[in-house]
Structure 1
């Protein structure tokens, strides 16, 4: 959510800096975010996973990875705000039409991506892998995959299928970052109104995992996974501790980082 990222950027103690989120901010989005926060929406995860994903991209780039794939890219601004190397190619994948507003906003502001960027109009429920390959993605070279906010809306079978497809396209040295709620989230009375709202809105939360490893093929990846209390305590060695103010809204959401 661009509104959440922009609000965070404006704080003196910001955990995530996103100077471009303001370009994507609208009055309608502000009203929606405010309403969802009132229902107990886990908005802190937007900031937390943003910083987590940024760190994963930076580590991958430092290790020599030169492909970045953003699945369900939506309002993601990483292609502009991260200092990506010029020899890296970034692919943004989303439904046809979903990336047009963002592209128009950046074009109107006279801003270009920091590295070559290719738009892939594809439905993740279809043959998105073919569309990605047609755009130039090389499955024989390592890739950093960012899949933020996707697995909430996929059931267990579809989540496993998506991660299996990512694995098929991932050479040694690849990394994948994703977030998924723990079943305890669904049992939290403080989240019942929000979850009911999502169901009524036609976007029910279907994906819950006791641990992210249940979604990955056995032995195919080396997985690091953290709940917000782990991140607050500084248990992720390559990430600054998550502020408690952000963790409070989403205590039961997994942050996952898997490597090949």
Structure 2
């Protein structure tokens, strides 16, 4: 699991970036047991079990207490992050948007567990092996999508817009886009291309939700790497070897919130601290990784954004 990121690298749900999706599902399973009023993901535990990483399966099922491996901050973070994106999709589709796109869908099960309005089409994009695994596993569990689910097996560093259109996506119709927990795992230029392509494919009135991480201050990257190394060592002591510092791209990049605003999106932004307080959860303590400063942003493409859409089309 310790390979360094490089152009064109691939993964499954037990390795590299894919394993982070399994870790996220593990946190959702634990959070669901802890507080179902904020998060109710009944598919997280069986999906983690099916991936086959014994330690994560035991954590997801409750056979092993979270202890130091999945701390309160991680569990509470899973609660507010999941609720933020659940609410985003339900508000968008209840307002009449009929296309939803989940980018880097991983073990996300919203197409199966949310109460989508009749007529909603949910597109899921991810690596082919990831898409095949989740589709097969949920079918074996007898799960049935609650919307029309269309899968798009594609690497988001490639020409995913063509693949999305081939699956039936209509760029002239309003869309709700979700890029959850994704941008930090893309090189800076790939992040910009992704946000440009979202804008290009969006009719006015479309909606988007993602995270916007502040650029590092002097010394921040070193502190972040140190914190991630400590997390990796903690997991390694339990037999799970995943080097988190080798999965992320560090250094400066365009921050997602102002980048999207410049392209015609009117955004609302909430820090992790804001979401914890709004959901009556304890505040962060310590926070060496600056998780409290992470912005969760969502918003609408303005009707006057046609010039921006045309300008981005030359870069995708």
TM-score (norm 2): 0.70
User: 1:157: which partner in 2?
Assistant: 189
Which deviates the most, 39-48 or 157-166?
39-48
Give runs of aligned pairs for residues 1-260 of structure 1, distance below 5 A: 1-12=24-35, 14-26=37-49, 28=53, 30-31=55-56, 37=69, 44-183=76-215, 186=220, 189=223, 192-194=226-228, 197=232, 202-206=246-250, 212-216=256-260, 218=262, 220-234=264-278, 241=279, 243-244=281-282, 250-260=291-301
Contact 2:174-2:202 within 8 A present in 1 as well: yes
Larger radius of gyration: 2
Deviations 1:182-222 (A, max 9, x none): 34694584762316857666312437668532332515100
In structure 2, C-alpha distance between the alignment counterparts of 1:183 and 1:168, rounded to whole Å: 25
In structure 2, C-alpha distance between the alignment counterparts of 1:23 and 1:200, rounded to whole Å: 24
What is the CA-CA distance between 1:77 and the residue it aligns to?
0.4
Residue ranges of structure 2 left out of the alignment (5+ in a row): 1-23, 60-65, 233-241, 302-316
TM-score (norm 1): 0.84
Contact 2:228-2:244 within 8 A present in 1 as well: no
User: 2:9: which partner in 1?
Assistant: none
Q: Secondary structure at the match of 2:27?
A: helix
What is the CA-CA distance between 1:42 and the residue it aligns to?
5.0
Q: Summarize the Cα distance change of 1:30–1:211 in structure 2 as closer, same or farther, 3 Å threshold.
A: same
In structure 1, C-alpha distance between the alignment counterparts of 2:68 and 2:162, rounded to whole Å: 36
Contact 2:28-2:79 within 8 A present in 1 as well: yes
Q: Summarize the Cα distance change of 1:12–1:154 in structure 2 as closer, same or farther, 3 Å threshold.
A: closer
What is the CA-CA distance between 1:16 and the residue it aligns to?
1.2
In structure 2, C-alpha distance between the alignment counterparts of 1:213 and 1:159, rounded to whole Å: 12
Which deviates the most, 174-183 or 212-221?
212-221
Q: Summarize the Cα distance change of 1:38–1:12 in structure 2 as closer, same or farther, 3 Å threshold.
A: closer
What is the CA-CA distance between 1:45 and the residue it aligns to?
3.6
What is the CA-CA distance between 1:43 and the residue it aligns to?
5.8
RMSD: 3.2
Q: Summarize the Cα distance change of 1:207–1:154 in structure 2 as closer, same or farther, 3 Å threshold.
A: farther
Structure with the larger RCO, 1 or 2 (CA within 8 Å, 6+ apart): 1
Deviations 1:13-57 (A, max 9, x none): 652111111221236274498699479995644332211011111
Contact 1:4-1:46 within 8 A present in 2 as well: yes
What is the CA-CA distance between 1:253 and the residue it aligns to?
1.6
Which deviates the most, 157-166 or 112-121?
157-166
What is the CA-CA distance between 1:141 and the residue it aligns to?
0.2
